[in-house]
Structure 1
Amino acid sequence: MSSIFTKIVNGEIPCYKIAEDENYLAFLDVNPNAKGHTLCIPKQEINKIFDMEEEHYLGLMKFSRKVAKALEKSVDCKRIGVAVVGLEVPHVHVHLIPLQDMDDMRFQRKVALSKEEFEAIVALVQSNL
């Protein structure tokens, strides 16, 4: 069965797309820890990050870095945190989280954003890519 992220890649579920290339996709997390919380995924459904071929893994990290640099220019934060947990969805995903403090990384405090706020973040980050 396809993961929710594969359904996003296939266009079956909409997302707030930040960036995309032939192998990777970045989109805003709809249940964010902080404003601008972004997920970077490989388009190929792979369950565990260290099961990725080395070249594909390095490509995901390079793609994530590019997105993180644009995100940092776009959202007020002290830095961009990175996490790979992998228990919530069986599809590799890198969390890029704009941080003000360590609580932003704990996945316990969530922020609510309107559709307009999500769309404004997308436009701003895309302008900084």
Structure 2
Amino acid sequence: MSTVFTMIINGDIPGTFVWRDEHCVAFMSINPITAGHVLVVPIEEIDHWIDASPELNAHMFDVSRTIAQAQERAFGCEKVGMIIAGYEVPHAHIHLIPTNEMSELSFAHAASSVERSDLDAWAAAIAAELST
């Protein structure tokens, strides 16, 4: 059975994308901890990031760095936090979370829902910075 992330990647359910290449995608979290929270996800269904090839992990970290730089510019945050937890969905993913202080990096702050217009606006802000 496909994971919810595979269904998003394949377009079976909606996702608000900011990145797509042959190895991974990045899309807005529907339960963001802060505005601009992005998930970087391999296209291949891999449950635990340590089971991914070193090349795939290196690629995902490089993509994460590029997106985080765009997030910093788009949201004027102090840092972009990174969390690799892997408990919510059995498909490896990297959380990139714009923050201004350490206390913001908590899943306890995750929104239970967010307006599609907010996701679209955040994605547009990131995309604009990715194209600079």
Shorter chain as denominator, the TM-score bin is over 0.9
For residues 39-78 of structure 1, what are the structure 2 equivalents within 5 Å?
Answer: 39-78=39-78
User: Paired residue for 2:82?
Assistant: 82
Tell me the distance in 2 between the aligned counterparts of 1:119 and 1:56. Answer: 28
Give per-residue Cα distances to partners, 1:67-86, cap 9 Å, x unaligned: 11111111131110001000
Count of paired positions: 129
Moved over 4 A (4+): none
Tell me the distance in 2 between the aligned counterparts of 1:106 and 1:9. Answer: 26
Q: Displacement of 1:124 after TM fit?
A: 1.1
Which stretches in structure 2 are left out of the alignment for 5+ residues? none
Instruction: State whether residues 35 and 98 of structure 1, in contact with CA within 8 Å, keep that contact through their aligned partners in structure 2.
Output: yes
User: Paired residue for 2:121?
Assistant: 120
Could you say what the CA RMSD is over the residues aligned between the two structures, in angstroms?
A: 1.1
Instruction: State whether residues 103 and 109 of structure 1, in contact with CA within 8 Å, keep that contact through their aligned partners in structure 2.
Output: no
Q: Is 2:37 the partner of 1:11?
A: no
Tell me the distance in 2 between the aligned counterparts of 1:102 and 1:52. Answer: 28
User: More deviation in 80-89 or 96-105?
Assistant: 96-105
User: Paired residue for 2:33?
Assistant: 33
Amino acid at match of 2:36: G
Tell me the distance in 2 between the aligned counterparts of 1:36 and 1:50. Answer: 26
Give per-residue Cα distances to partners, 1:49-77, cap 9 Å, x unaligned: 01011111111111111111111111131
How many percent of aligned residue pairs carry the same amino acid? 35
Instruction: Give SS of 2:109's match.
Output: coil
Q: If the length of structure 2 is used for normalisation, what is the TM-score?
A: 0.93
Q: If the length of structure 1 is used for normalisation, what is the TM-score?
A: 0.95
